[in-house]
Amino acid sequence: MIFVEPNRSSWKRLDLVVKNFGVTPAYNVVMAFDPPLCISPNPNKANSSISLLRYPERIYILAPGQEWRTVWDNAEWRFLCAGIEMTHRASVSYQDSKGENYKNPAILDWNTFAPMTRFPAKTVHDIAVELKNQNKHLDDMRVRLKKVVSPHGGVWLAGVVSDEEEGYEAVREAVRQMTGEGDASSTSTTEGSENVG
């Protein structure tokens, strides 16, 4: 059987599908169309024009339940394109395992999809993309927080230097002078800290 249906990942595109709904294999499957199937031009690309849809001249075997499919066209672009055919007579010819010939006709009509209303549905793919974006934002926050960590391991959110922070720095400087601690050791202690408290 030959038919069209909305693409699984983007319902604004239609797929051309040939599927074996029988219980035995279909051999020498041949598709025919009148007029030939065309693809509308991409309005976002310069010098884009109407082109012919490519498909195999013959599919040697389709097992029961197996299908061949390809993206045919984008509905938004197609309805913007003047002069493109919207209705096509189609047929699929094939042989059964005994060599008997069959031919199934069909009408492929874009106009049946024009009045469709759809609500966007989120899939697992959408969730994965959203999680990836959230992870990126969390990484950005981690990097920014790491840059503003104070020398004693916490984050100061005050807009001005507080008395407590000044007092801490004064005590730390006094300890440095008494112990002879150099800047290198204090710097390495501070930079090695990842605590954000």
Domain that holds residue 186: 124-192
Give per-residue burial for 118-157: e unless 16+ CB within 10 Å, then b: eeeeeeeeeeeeeeeeeeeeeeeeeeeeeeebeeeeeeee
> Which of 113, 147, 163 is the last residue before a domain boundary?
113
Please report whether residue 118 resides in a domain. Answer: no
Q: What percent of the chain has pLDDT over 90?
A: 37
Same domain, yes or no, for 92 and 171?
A: no
Same domain, yes or no, for 62 and 107?
A: yes
Residue 148's closest CA among 172, 165, 173, 171? 165
Please report whether residue 119 resides in a domain. Answer: no
pLDDT reported for residue 83:
81
Same domain, yes or no, for 181 and 96?
A: no
pLDDT in tens, 10-46: 778 889 999 999 999 999 999 999 999 999 888 788 8
Residues in contact with 123: Cβ distance below 8 Å, sequence separation at least 6, in sequence order = 9
pLDDT reported for residue 192:
44
Please report whether residue 130 resides in a domain. Answer: yes
pLDDT in tens, 100-151: 999 999 999 988 877 666 666 777 888 888 999 999 988 888 887 777 665 6
pLDDT reported for residue 186:
44
Same domain, yes or no, for 32 and 93?
A: yes
Residue 112's closest CA among 144, 154, 79? 79
Please report whether residue 52 resides in a domain. Answer: yes
Please report whether residue 10 resides in a domain. Answer: yes
Same domain, yes or no, for 14 and 63?
A: yes
Same domain, yes or no, for 64 and 149?
A: no
Helix (H, G, I), strand (E, B) or coil at 129: helix
- Which CATH number belongs to the domain containing residue 49 in this structure? 2.60.40
Same domain, yes or no, for 82 and 54?
A: yes
Please report whether residue 197 resides in a domain. Answer: no
Q: Specify the number of domains making up the chain.
A: 2
> Which of 57, 88, 113 is the last residue before a domain boundary?
113
Same domain, yes or no, for 151 and 181?
A: yes
Choose the most confident range, by mean pLDDT, from 5-9, 27-31, 82-86, 127-131: 27-31
Same domain, yes or no, for 12 and 95?
A: yes
Same domain, yes or no, for 14 and 77?
A: yes
Measured in whole angstroms, how far is the alpha carbon of residue 25 from the centre of its chain?
34
CA distance 127 to 119: 17
Same domain, yes or no, for 67 and 38?
A: yes
> Which of 80, 113, 146 is the last residue before a domain boundary?
113
Please report whether residue 149 resides in a domain. Answer: yes
Widest CA span of the chain, in angstroms?
101
pTM across the whole model: 0.58
172 neighbors 164 (Cβ within 8 angstroms): no
Dihedral sign computed on CA atoms, order 104, 109, 110, 113: negative
